[in-house]
């Protein structure tokens, strides 16, 4: 099981240059809206044609500009779950699912596959409804059923939870993971949510402005996003310019302090980052003298805005997230960061 994507496409003012490789399992394409992640998915499915490059699925070339290969979406057999689910509004749930079985000529097998899909996706009793009469979660299950019965070789899911109420998302993520656990082929999920990517994807590719910035196992990419955009997309709140001093020391001009990260500092350092959860008042290493400038209450956490002593006026606040149980009545005047929590960002 493998999927290789190496494509370029010019959209006039926006240049997509998408490159990643997967070997089974779920891959997340993480990026802000308009970064080219959905376009990448469309190119893989074949509903859009790149300008040049190559797409190879399980050893079969789907697209190769040099060899002039460009299979139609019908020939590719790649399942695509659209953000809006794209159920045919003129058809019932039953007819929608049966369109995925049109190539199955054996009536008994067709019926069995249909019944299995209805059971698997808990759609009993909804067979004669129209898409307009379904909730978001139901529509998603119908679209999944329709896609899965067509026996695709790979699955592409475009923002599968964007049309779902937020309080239902967690459960649907669990359900979807359980459903996809048995799927043998490669799966690509497009998302702008770092939580979704972290929950669901064994590996991720972080995209920004049409490019893949970082690509690898999810935990590794989150631990070391390498670029400022990668840091932001993986949810790093505190990003400040930084310079290399030596292999184990960086200087942060906004704070006027030296920090000592655990990773060896390479040339080309432009910034550093600390995730809002990773400041610790009791941490003695990498100390920073601070004062509190504001508090924001969340259901289970405090978001505390701090400024370093002597921090320049135009420099943004430092964000510190801390569990409510341990918020001290008196704000600490010193925060520390463990060396392994100092992220280093390069050009």
Partner 1 sequence: MDWYPLYNSLRIAAIACVAVFFTGIFAAYYVAKLPRLVKGLLDVVLTLPMVLPPTVVGYFLLLLFGVKRPFGIFLARFGIKVPMTWWSAVFAAAVVSFPLMYRTARGAFEAFDEDLADAGRTLGLSNIYIFWRVRMPVCRQGILAGTVLTFARALGEYGATSMIAGYTPGRTATISTTVYQLWRTDNEALACRWVLVNLAISAVVLLVVNMLEQKQKGKTR
Residue 72 vs 264, nearer CB to partner 1: 72
Instruction: Select the span of 12-20, 69-77, 292-300, 330-338 touching partner 1 (CB under 8 A).
Output: 69-77
The answer to whether 86 contacts partner 1 (rule: CB under 8 A) is yes
Minimum distance between the CB of residue 11 and partner 1, rounded to whole angstroms? 14
Minimum distance between the CB of residue 49 and partner 1, rounded to whole angstroms? 13
Query: Among residues 100, 230, 231, 273, which is the contact residue for partner 1, using CB under 8 A?
Result: 100
Query: Among residues 23, 52, 102, 295, which is the contact residue for partner 1, using CB under 8 A?
Result: 102
Residues whose CB is less than 8 angstroms from the CB of residue 11 and which lie 6 or more positions away in sequence, other chains included: 39
Residue 85 vs 222, nearer CB to partner 1: 85
Residues whose CB is less than 8 angstroms from the CB of residue 153 and which lie 6 or more positions away in sequence, other chains included: 57, 58, 76, 77, 78, 185
Query: Among residues 51, 88, 115, 133, which is the contact residue for partner 1, using CB under 8 A?
Result: 88
Residue 144 is given by DSSP the state H
At 125, phi and psi to the nearest 5? 90, -10
Query: Among residues 12, 13, 59, 89, which is the contact residue for partner 1, using CB under 8 A?
Result: 89
Residue 153 vs 211, nearer CB to partner 1: 153
The answer to whether 78 contacts partner 1 (rule: CB under 8 A) is yes
R_g (Cα) of the chain, nearest Å: 24
Query: Among residues 27, 40, 150, 218, which is the contact residue for partner 1, using CB under 8 A?
Result: 150
The answer to whether 291 contacts partner 1 (rule: CB under 8 A) is no
Instruction: Output the DSSP codes for 67-113.
Output: TTEE--HHHHTEEEE-TT----TTS-HHHHHHHTTTT---HHHHHHH
CB 204 within 8 A of CB 218: yes
Count of residues touching partner 1 (by CB under 8 A): 26
What is the dihedral angle through the alpha carbons of 262, 268, 274, 278, rounded to the nearest 10 degrees? -20
Burial state string for 228-239 with b = 16 or more CB within 10 A and e = fewer than 16: bbbbbbbbbbbb
* Share in percent of the chain as helix, strand, coil (round to 5): 25, 35, 40
Distance in angstroms (rounded) separating the CA atoms of residues 158 and 296: 33
Residue 102 vs 116, nearer CB to partner 1: 102
Minimum distance between the CB of residue 103 and partner 1, rounded to whole angstroms? 6
Strand-pair partners of 80:
156
The answer to whether 250 contacts partner 1 (rule: CB under 8 A) is no
Minimum distance between the CB of residue 90 and partner 1, rounded to whole angstroms? 4
CB 46 within 8 A of CB 63: yes
Residue numbers 1-60 binding partner 1 by CB under 8 A:
42, 45-47
The answer to whether 157 contacts partner 1 (rule: CB under 8 A) is no
Distance in angstroms (rounded) separating the CA atoms of residues 187 and 2: 10
3-state DSSP call for residue 175? helix
Instruction: Select the span of 19-27, 68-76, 206-214, 307-315 touching partner 1 (CB under 8 A).
Output: 68-76
Residue numbers 109-138 binding partner 1 by CB under 8 A:
none
Residue 152 vs 230, nearer CB to partner 1: 152
Q: Which residues bind partner 1 (CB under 8 A)?
A: 42, 45-47, 72-74, 76-80, 82, 84, 86, 88-90, 99-100, 102-103, 146-147, 150, 152
């Amino acid at each position: 099981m493998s999927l290789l994507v190496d494509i370029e496409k010019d959209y006039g003012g926006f240049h997509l240059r998408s490159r990643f490789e997967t070997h089974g399992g779920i891959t997340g394409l993480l990026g802000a809206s308009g970064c080219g992640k959905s376009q990448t998915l469309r190119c893989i499915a074949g509903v859009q044609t790149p300008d040049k490059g190559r797409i190879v699925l399980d050893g079969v070339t789907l697209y190769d500009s040099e060899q002039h290969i460009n299979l139609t979406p019908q020939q590719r057999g790649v399942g695509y779950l659209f953000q809006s689910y794209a159920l045919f509004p003129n058809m019932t749930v039953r007819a929608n699912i049966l369109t995925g079985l049109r190539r199955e000529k054996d009536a008994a097998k067709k019926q069995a596959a249909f019944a299995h899909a209805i059971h698997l996706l808990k759609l009993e009793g909804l067979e004669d409804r129209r898409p307009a009469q379904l909730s978001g979660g139901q529509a998603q299950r119908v679209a999944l059923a329709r896609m899965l019965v067509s026996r695709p070789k790979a699955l592409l899911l475009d923002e599968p939870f964007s049309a779902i109420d937020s309080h239902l998302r967690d459960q649907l993520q669990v359900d979807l993971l359980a459903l996809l656990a048995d799927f043998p082929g490669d799966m690509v999920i497009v998302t702008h949510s770092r939580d979704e990517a972290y929950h669901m994807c064994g590996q991720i590719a972080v995209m920004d402005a049409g490019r893949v910035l970082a690509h690898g196992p999810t935990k590794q990419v989150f631990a070391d996003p390498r670029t400022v955009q990668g840091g932001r997309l993986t949810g790093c709140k505190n990003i400040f310019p930084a310079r290399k001093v030596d292999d184990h020391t960086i200087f942060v001009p906004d704070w006027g302090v030296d920090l000592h990260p655990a990773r060896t500092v390479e040339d080309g350092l432009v910034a550093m980052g600390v995730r809002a959860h990773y400041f610790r008042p009791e941490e003695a290493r990498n100390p920073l003298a601070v004062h509190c400038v504001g508090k924001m209450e969340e259901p289970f956490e405090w978001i505390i805005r701090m400024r370093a002593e002597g921090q320049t006026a135009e420099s943004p606040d430092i964000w510190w997230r801390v569990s409510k149980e341990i918020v001290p009545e008196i704000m600490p005047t010193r925060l520390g960061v463990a060396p392994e929590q100092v992220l280093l960002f390069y050009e």
